[in-house]
Amino acid sequence: MEKKIILSGIQATGELTLGNYLGSLNNWVKMQEEYDCYYMIADLHTLTIRNNPEDLRKNTLKLIALYVACGLDPEKNTIFIQSHVPAHTRLSWVLNCYTYMGELNRMTQFKDKAAKHADNINSGLFTYPVLMAADILIYNADLVPVGDDQKQHLEITRDIAERFNSLYGETFKIPEPYIGKVGARIMGLQNPTSKMSKSAQDPMDKILLTDTPDDIRKKLKKAVTDSENSVRFDRENKPGVSNLMSIYGILKNKDMKEIEKEFEGKGYGLFKSVVAEAIIERLEVIQKKYNELLENPEKLKAIYEKGDKKANEKANQLLKEVYKKVGLIVEE
């Protein structure tokens, strides 16, 4: 039986956080046995903001290393660099011609990013969702792992695909969202009502996958909780404690009732300390593998070259079909 295709990716900016790992990468690892997975380094998407070119190159390789260190097997997954597959941008141009300005105007992420980068509101930022649609549709992806902040992008992808299909006949598969289980949305340590973000200005708000044990203990010690001193899951009234419980629950495969019982009457000091050690224990394994890969650039190159080759073969098949349907001359 043919496996369903999953497509996802992370932008090559900054360091990945514990939120990226528990919300995305940890789930991706679980998918690799069941699905045909395409995981890209979304380097083209990073160009909507100004990057230091050398940093972008380094971050791209670091991200590949983190993908593998977190458990993605290059033999079971297609790990590739977005800019190394020209079909993404070639399809994106075609899809731009089937996307309406009104649809792009409604995208909340454009409004948010435009507010943060008011000095650089470029057209790439505006048409970003179309490139994302091309990323997904070029592989005929069945499923796309999405958090709440990405649902709108998947919706516009589906709209564009359905519009194209209605004009030219069945061409694109209509992708469905793949929603992860508990912990798909890990929140900030200092602001537990907002998602943990690698772009957060306050370093104490996020745990990086490359943080030292001392950094992690310090950040957990200062994580926002409440005055109740009771380990109880209640997202609305106890967002800080509930977030730490979610992190601990995923790392130790425990449900919230088990955690509540484990720390009954024990207070936040001990609870934070235990959560910190659980994080350190998991990241120690990841960091060891990550550092080994960074010291072996030829191995990293072999991983992405293999993935690039497979991604190009898959993407070019569909691009050729699209070009033919819209009337472009295609060389066989």
Predicted confidence band of residue 49 (pLDDT cuts 50, 70, 90): confident
| H-assigned helices in the chain | 18-20, 26-31, 53-69, 87-96, 101-105, 108-116, 123-137, 151-168, 213-221, 239-252, 256-262, 267-294, 297-326
Position 115 scores a pLDDT of 67
DSSP SS3 for 236: coil
Position 81 scores a pLDDT of 97
| Chain mean pLDDT for the chain | 91
Per cent of the chain over pLDDT 90 is: 70
Give ranges for CATH 3.40.50.620 in the chain. 5-179+297-326
pLDDT tens column, 171-230: 999 999 987 554 457 999 999 999 898 878 899 999 999 999 999 999 999 999 988 889
Alpha-carbon span 147 to 219, nearest angstrom? 25
- Residue 121 vs residue 14, higher pLDDT: 121
Position 183 scores a pLDDT of 44
Contact status, residue 65 vs residue 294, Cβ threshold 8 Å:
yes
The pTM of the full predicted model, rounded to 2 decimals, is 0.89
Position 199 scores a pLDDT of 78
Q: Which residues pair with 77 in a beta bridge?
A: 37
- Residue 247 vs residue 145, higher pLDDT: 247
The average pLDDT across 259-265 equals 92
pLDDT tens column, 287-296: 999 999 999 9
- Residue 27 vs residue 238, higher pLDDT: 238
Query: Does the domain made of 203-292 have the CATH classification 3.40.1190.20?
Result: no
What class does CATH assign to 5-179+297-326?
alpha beta
Beta 5-11 vs 36-42: how paired, if at all?
parallel
* Catalytic residue ranges: 113, 195, 198
Give ranges for CATH 1.10.240.10 in the chain. 203-292
The structure tokens 């190394």 sit at 84
Sequence-separated contacts (24+) of 281-285 with Cβ below 8 Å: 281/251, 282/251, 283/18, 283/209, 283/211, 283/216, 284/213
The average pLDDT across 68-87 equals 96
Report which secondary-structure segment, H or E, holds 143.
strand 143-145
pLDDT tens column, 109-145: 766 666 666 676 788 888 899 999 999 999 999 999 8
